[in-house]
Amino acid sequence: MPNEHLLAERREGVLRLTLNQPDKLNALSDQMIAGLLEELGRAAHDSDVRCVLLTGAGRGFCSGGDISRMRERNETEGPGPTVEQRMAALRRAEEVSLLLHELPKPTIAAINGAVAGAGLSIALACDLRLAADSARLVTAFARVGFSGDFGGTWLMTRLVGPALAKEFYFLADPIDANRALTLGLVNRVVPAAALMPEAEALAKRLAAGPAIAYGYMKANINAALISDFRALLDREAMGQTMTGRTEDHREAVKAFLEKRQPTFKGR
């Protein structure tokens, strides 16, 4: 069944997902979250998907939670969901960030404008972030009396350190694209008109690469955030041995010696 709040397109090994509620700056909805969980969960096991590209429709990437829905919930009379039910529902939704972070394939966020709150957390969960020069990033949670969700505090702290992470969360001041680049919150800043062509070119390049090796690389780098050196060396030894047994490795060695570009098949 089509999902009006999430557009999905598969082409040349790339799964392009577009958050599609532009009249609300792509605020997260239950329908959007359900679509993301379904598409990302399927992509994890789909060998035809070798890279995921996430962006937003219209003038923004994602404004985070829907403020109008928050007001409706706060003003609803009656007992409503219990604390435990609300926690469980949020935790299920947060799997979007975990999937983007752990998916054994490269994930790219193309930040085409404003990104805030949980939307920023989701963008930070991607492996690479390209931002339009007009993009603005803001944690926003303090503005509505929230503490933060979708893994943003974990991701932000590892990208910029605890002092800046606290500043960005406490003050909730917008960060422009160039400062975000300087701090390492985004990998590239490009003119707004060039954002999607550059993001799609990068996604296609990754989709044409050694998919199995990328999966091991990503897992190793993620583990490096929390692992000791000895354990990481063990992981690297295992990954290097396993990728050395792949058809892609043999093809790459042969192509190097024949002075041509390799053709990777993800096997």
Q: What is the pLDDT of residues 125-175, one digit of tens each?
A: 999 999 999 999 999 999 999 999 999 999 999 999 999 999 999 999 999
Residue 66 has a pLDDT of 77
Residue 74 has a pLDDT of 64
For the cut 80, the answer to whether the pLDDT of residue 265 exceeds it is yes
**C-alpha to C-alpha distances, 231 to 234, 235, 237, nearest whole angstrom:** 5, 6, 10
Residue 39 has a pLDDT of 97
Take residue 175 and report the two structure tokens written for it. 């960060």
Confidence of residue 200 (pLDDT cuts 50, 70, 90): very high
Q: Which among 58, 66, 80 has a CA at the least distance from the CA of 27?
A: 66
For the cut 80, the answer to whether the pLDDT of residue 212 exceeds it is yes
Residue 254 has a pLDDT of 87
Going across the sheet that includes 175-176, the strands are: 60-62, 114-116, 136-138, 175-176
For the cut 70, the answer to whether the pLDDT of residue 114 exceeds it is yes
CA terminus-to-terminus distance, the chain = 32
Confidence of residue 266 (pLDDT cuts 50, 70, 90): confident
Report the alpha-carbon distance of residue 26 to residue 166 in Å, rounded: 26
Residue 107 has a pLDDT of 98
Instruction: State the pairing for strand pair 136-138/114-116.
Output: parallel
pLDDT tens readout for residues 5-64: 999 999 999 999 999 999 999 999 999 999 999 999 999 999 999 999 999 999 999 999
Contact 70, 127 (CB under 8 A): no
For the cut 70, the answer to whether the pLDDT of residue 185 exceeds it is yes
Instruction: State the pairing for strand pair 6-11/51-56.
Output: unpaired
Ranges of each domain in the chain: 6-207, 211-257
Does CATH place domain 6-207 in 3.90.226.10? yes
Report the alpha-carbon distance of residue 117 to residue 111 in Å, rounded: 14
Quote the pTM value.
Answer: 0.94
Contact 204, 13 (CB under 8 A): yes
Contact 90, 53 (CB under 8 A): no
pLDDT tens readout for residues 52-100: 999 999 999 999 987 767 666 766 666 778 889 999 999 999 999 999 9
Interval 192-202 mean pLDDT: 98
